[in-house]
Amino acid sequence: MKPPRFDYLIPRSLDEALGVLAQHGEDAKVLAGGQSLVPLLNFRLVRPAHLLDLNDVAGLAGIRVDDGHLTIGAMTRQRAVETSALVRERCPLLAEAMPQIGHVQIRNRGTIGGSLAHADPAAELPAVVAALDGELVLRSARGERVLTPDRYFVAYLTTAAEPDELLVEVRVPVTPPRTGVAFLEVSRRHGDFALVGVAATVTVDEAGVCTAGALALTGVGPTPVVARDAVRTLVGARPTPAAFEEVGRRVVAGLRPDGDLHASSEYRAQLARVLSARALARAAERAAAGAERAKSDRR
Amino acid sequence: MIERTVRVTVNGRRVEKTVEVRKTLADFLRDDLDLTGTHLGCEHGVCGACTVIVDGAAVRSCLLFAAQMDGHEIETVEGLANGETLDPLQEAFREHHGLQCGFCTPGFLMTLTCLLRECPNPSDAQVREAISGNLCRCTGYRNIVTAALTAARSRAASARP
Ligand SMILES: Cc1cc2nc3c(=O)[nH]c(=O)nc-3n(C[C@H](O)[C@H](O)[C@H](O)COP(=O)(O)OP(=O)(O)OC[C@H]3O[C@@H](n4cnc5c(N)ncnc54)[C@H](O)[C@@H]3O)c2cc1C
Ligand code: FES
Ligand code: FES
Q: What was the pLDDT predicted at B159?
A: 66
Interface touch B57/A108, C-beta < 8 Å: yes
Interface touch A106/B133, C-beta < 8 Å: yes
In terms of Cβ atoms closer than 10 Å to its own Cβ (0-12, 13-18, 19+), residue A40 is: middle
Query: Directed axis angle between helix B142-159 and helix B88-95, to 10°?
Result: 140
Per-residue pLDDT tens for A202-236? Answer: 999 999 999 999 999 999 999 999 999 999 999 99
Q: Which residues of B touch A1 (CB under 8 A)?
A: 43
Query: What phi, psi does B124 have (nearest 5°)?
Result: -55, -45
Structural domains present in chain B: 3-79 (3.10.20.30), 88-159 (1.10.150.120)
Q: Is the CB of B133 under 6 A from ligand 2?
A: no
Per-residue pLDDT tens for A54-92? Answer: 999 999 999 999 989 999 999 999 999 999 999 999 999
- Is residue A292 very low, low, confident or very high in pLDDT (cuts 50, 70, 90)? confident
ipTM value of the model?
Answer: 0.95
Q: What was the pLDDT predicted at A299?
A: 66
Angle at A43 between CA A36 and CA A139, to 5 degrees: 35
Helix H, strand E, coil C: the string for chain B is CCEEEEEEEECCEEEEEEEECCCEHHHHHHHHCCCCCCCCCCCCCCCCCCEEEECCEEEEHHHCEHHHHCCCEEECHHHCCECCECCHHHHHHHHCCCCCCCCCHHHHHHHHHHHHHHCCCCCHHHHHHHHHHCCCCCCCCHHHHHHHHHHHHHHHHHHCC
B152-156 contacts, C-beta under 8 A, 24 or more apart: B152/B116, B152/B120, B152/B121, B152/B122, B154/B88, B154/B91, B154/B92, B155/B88, B155/B116, B155/B120, B156/B120, B156/B121
- Which residue, among A78, A104, A188, A190, would best test binding to B if mutated, counting the most B CBs under 10 Å from its CB? A104
Chain centroid to CA B141: how far?
A: 17
Per the prediction, chain A carries an average pLDDT of 95
Per-residue pLDDT tens for A13-49? Answer: 999 999 999 999 899 999 999 999 999 999 999 999 9
Instruction: Give me ligand 3 centre to Cα B140, in Å.
Output: 8
Interface touch A35/B44, C-beta < 8 Å: no
pLDDT above 70 (res A191): yes
The Cα–Cα gap between A92 and A87 comes to 6
Q: Which residues of B touch A191 (CB under 8 A)?
A: 132-133
Kindly give the number of the ligand 3 atom that is closest to the alpha carbon of B138. Answer: 2
Chunked into runs of 10 residues, chain B (161 residues) has average pLDDT values of 97 98 98 98 97 98 98 98 95 97 98 97 96 95 97 79 54
Neighbouring CB atoms inside 10 A of A261's CB total 5
Tell me the CA distances in angstroms from A265 to A161, A217, A229, B96, one per residue in order. 30, 15, 22, 44
Structural domains present in chain A: 7-53 (3.30.43.10), 63-173 (3.30.465.10), 179-294 (3.30.390.50)
Neighbouring CB atoms inside 10 A of B134's CB total 25
A50-53 and A7-9 strand pairing:
parallel
Please tell me which residue, A291 or B36, carries the higher pLDDT value: B36
Q: Is the CB of B101 under 6 A from ligand 3?
A: yes
Interface touch B43/A1, C-beta < 8 Å: yes
Per-residue pLDDT tens for A110-136? Answer: 999 999 999 999 999 999 999 999 999
What is the SS3 assignment for A64? Answer: strand
- Stated pTM of the model: 0.96
